[in-house]
Amino acid sequence: MSSKKPIFFTVLLLFTFACINAQERTTIELNKGWKFSKGMNEKAFENNFNDSKWQTVSVPHDWAIYGPFDKEIDKQVTAIVQNGEKVATEKTGRTGALPYIGEAWYRNQFSVPNFDKNKKVILLFEGAMSEPKVFLNGKKVGEWNYGYNFFYFDITDYVAANGKNNLAVHLSNVGESSRWYPGAGLYRKVKLIVKNKESIDQWGTFVTTPVVADDLAKVNIKTKVNGDNLSIVTKILDSFGNEVAVNKSNAIFGNEFDQNMAIINPKLWSPETPYLYTAVSQLYVGDVLKDETTTRFGIRTIKFEPNKGFSLNGKVRKFKGVCLHHDLGPIGTAINKAALRRQLTILKDMGCDAIRSSHNMPSLEQLELCDEMGFMFLAESFDEWAKPKVKNGYNRFFKTDAEKDVVNLIHATRNHPSIVMWSSGNEVPDQWGSEGVKRAKWLQEIFHREDPTRPVTVGMDQVKATMESGFGAIMDIPGLNYRLPLYDEAFKKFPQGFILGSETASTVSSRGIYKFPVVKGANKQYPDFQSSSYDLEYCSWSNVPDDDFVLQDDKPWVIGEFVWTGFDYLGEPTPYDEMWPSRSSYFGISDLAGLPKDRFYLYRSRWNTTDMTLHILPHWNWEGREGETTPVFVYTNYDSAELFVNGKSMGIQKKNNTTPQNRYRLMWMDVKYEPGTVKVVAFDKDGKAIDEERIGTAEKPYQIKLEADRGTLEANGEDLSFVTVSVVDKNGNPCPTATQQLNFSVTGKGTYRAACNGDATSLELFHLPTMKLFSGKLVVLVQSTSEAGKIELTVSGKGLKSGKLALNSN
């Protein structure tokens, strides 16, 4: 009998939305009217400081994204052990070179509607960077250390019954506390929840499905409550609002109701069919309704089996995932649902079906959207345990805070159908030795205790050490970060019977930049601090995408991958982290502006199985390279194609197994550059021409072209339209090498929010209405106001015909 036992998880999950109800429960988002001041320490509170001259901001807010960029900010002299470095060197852009370090205060006032002795008031923070200390009406309510966590306080005893309540939040960010840009401030939502004392606990509802079949799902809902003589009525609605199940119970076990309901012919949640139900929970004392919450959830099963791998709803599949840091490029870490939705829309088109929150706890908005749009989710908790990677990282709090941080993560998010795995850590130095094994086991048991429905992984980079210590053997899912040569050995030594590529590739590239000669290699550097978009450059510890594709295709026990990374992010500018200016990553499949790099189409050709991909690189504007070898690659899900330059055939290429690159790319390595047109004609399996694509040499830049991802915005003061700005010649051909300085103006019922060109070396500030093009493109963000109406964006540049774009807000 095999010792490799299956790990089986069947679960129905939900997300609880605050129900705004004047009688039972009121949720108020504290987003407007905040006063902000940076530079004052905690002692300033004792001096009853005057905030009349403070800056007025809205929350979510990231104070550091407005810059300026400065190489001296958080300059770290260190050897990055997980990258194999042995000698300490100066790292100038590691945390983005943005001014996140320092202390700051936020203040606001609020009234509590209908407050009396029978009410309970909860103050909820969905993230605060970092080490927040919270004061209400001059008294300290509480504090929390971890900037990525959700936390709340019961402030009932601090609330003034009549009039305004004065809320103050002190934040402190110290240097050498991160390996990437962490952001700064109240960067996620702050909410006030007013309810009766007889009520459902915060994050007190947990839903699972012990049985899921085609014709029936058994739904179990556990609801923690406060009060006496209580009963509960729970109704389940389908996506159209029709009632499909109901249960009433007055049987309470301690402080928890435990209800079971049946859903006939359930519709299952998956990335392809992200079907969501809604549960309405009503809490009564006698016949009096005391509290009500609504809950959106999905029904699905997950299973992990030796040698077979992962299955969702009974079907084996592999994760086609990406890792995402939490910053949103030019708007920093301040959460914005429109920006998140755009990211996921881009990833969906690529064929991605899974996200890993790296290396921190996700936002509730991100999970909401993954539920709606259909992405499986690996929710990560920590980048450090007890042993440090950076001097002032989470290691300072691990022993005292790790359990409560994990508990809050699970309770706040465990009901999202998108989450299929937890991660308790990433590349932690604790991978060595018995103490690390004990910590891994301790954390995993906390996850199992609070949520027995999902498995736990850790991103392991010290694979040899985890083989010897037993660290890898105790994990539900052994996750390997890179280390491709060790996959087979790890599979043999670990008992689980499968391996997850928890972090893969770390291929580096700059959008629209190509280097010659075209040769595969590690740690390549160039005088312009860019990386080649031929997608053959990587780091000392990593590899190109094709090497991972081979393992995913040829090893049934490799259950998928999470590519580092879906988008570029602020900080960690490898391979230029010792050089200035370089302040953001090169790892992204799309750049910091969200514009796809060539690599996007390589993954799309493999992952998107419903749409055809046919993409040519490089661009064809190479003045001065006439007659020189300029290889042409084609990323496509067709097996073969013929290349033509100015009508002359360069021959037919067919995918083959001679190298990983030949297996997944079509490559014409001996093409000589001459201005004109490059055309590729793709063939079906019978050799019949079925599709074609072409690119050409552009003339000098003539006109600015604008294209919005969305033409209509919601008039809520938060919604965003992302407008891609490019330059074309007089014939409408894109100018891929244009670098002109452009200026932006927004009139009407909208405002200019930010711009980004995707250049990791640019020191231009995102919030100023001017920026240079990079490789012929950039992106402008237009934000709605609270008034409906027309919006117009104008983009101009010297010597160019201006571009104008009309948007609407309603």
CA dist., res. 596 & res. 348, Å (int):
13
The one-letter code for the residue type at 745 is S
According to the model, what pLDDT value does residue 140 have?
Answer: 96
Of the candidates 350, 354, 323, the residue with the CA atom closest to the CA atom of residue 601: 350
Query: Which stretches does DSSP call E strand in 358-498?
Result: 376-380, 419-426, 456-460, 477-481
The one-letter code for the residue type at 512 is G
Query: pLDDT of 374-415, one tens digit each?
Result: 999 999 999 999 999 999 999 999 999 999 999 999 999 999
CATH number of 25-196: 2.60.120.260
Counting DSSP H helices and E strands in the chain, the numbers are 10, 49
Element (H, E) at 139: strand 139-143
Helix axes 598-607, 337-350, angle to 10 degrees: 60
Cis peptide before 545 (omega within 30 of 0): no
How far, in Å, are 15, 247, 398, 456, 741 from residue 447 at the CA level? 18, 29, 16, 7, 51
CA dist., res. 422 & res. 400, Å (int):
21
CA dist., res. 694 & res. 679, Å (int):
4
CA dist., res. 282 & res. 20, Å (int):
13
Locate 354 and state its tokens.
Answer: 């899974």
According to the model, what pLDDT value does residue 162 have?
Answer: 79
The torsion angle over the Cα atoms of residues 344, 206, 394 and 438, rounded to 10 degrees, is -120
According to the model, what pLDDT value does residue 283 have?
Answer: 98
Locate 267 and state its tokens.
Answer: 């519709």
- What is the secondary structure of 172-232 as a DSSP string? EE-SS--SS----BS-S-EEEEEEESSEEEEEEEEEEEEEE-SSEEEEEEEEEEESSSEEE
- Residues 528 and 739: beta-carbon distance below 8 Å: no
Helix axes 545-554, 598-607, angle to 10 degrees: 10
Which stretches of the chain score pLDDT less than 50? 1-22
CA dist., res. 580 & res. 582, Å (int):
5
Would you call 668 exposed, middle or buried from its count of C-beta atoms within 10 A (0-12, 13-18, 19+)? buried
Pairing of strands 677-683, 640-645: antiparallel
Task: Say whether 409 sits in a helix, a strand or coil.
Answer: helix
Show me where the domains of the chain are located: 7-18+200-301, 25-196, 317-512+540-607, 622-696, 703-809
Task: Give the end-to-end CA distance of the chain in Å, rounded to a whole number.
Answer: 64
Task: Say whether 611 sits in a helix, a strand or coil.
Answer: coil
- Residues acting as catalytic residues: 427, 503
Element (H, E) at 341: helix 337-350
Cis peptide before 660 (omega within 30 of 0): no
CA dist., res. 243 & res. 247, Å (int):
11
To which residue do tokens 């003539």 refer? Answer: 702
Of the candidates 126, 93, 570, the residue with the CA atom closest to the CA atom of residue 331: 570
**Which superfamily does 622-696 belong to?**
Immunoglobulins (2.60.40.10)
Indicate the DSSP class of residue 382.
-
According to the model, what pLDDT value does residue 46 have?
Answer: 67
CATH topology identical between 7-18+200-301 and 703-809: yes
Classify domain 317-512+540-607 at the CATH topology level. Answer: TIM Barrel (3.20.20)
Pairing of strands 354-357, 319-324: parallel
Indicate the DSSP class of residue 737.
T
CATH number of 7-18+200-301: 2.60.40.10
Indicate the DSSP class of residue 768.
S
- Residues 415 and 223: beta-carbon distance below 8 Å: no
The one-letter code for the residue type at 131 is E
**Which superfamily does 703-809 belong to?**
Immunoglobulins (2.60.40.10)
- What is the secondary structure of 67-107 as a DSSP string? ----TTTT-EEE--GGGT--S-EEESSTTTTS---EEEEEE
The one-letter code for the residue type at 720 is L
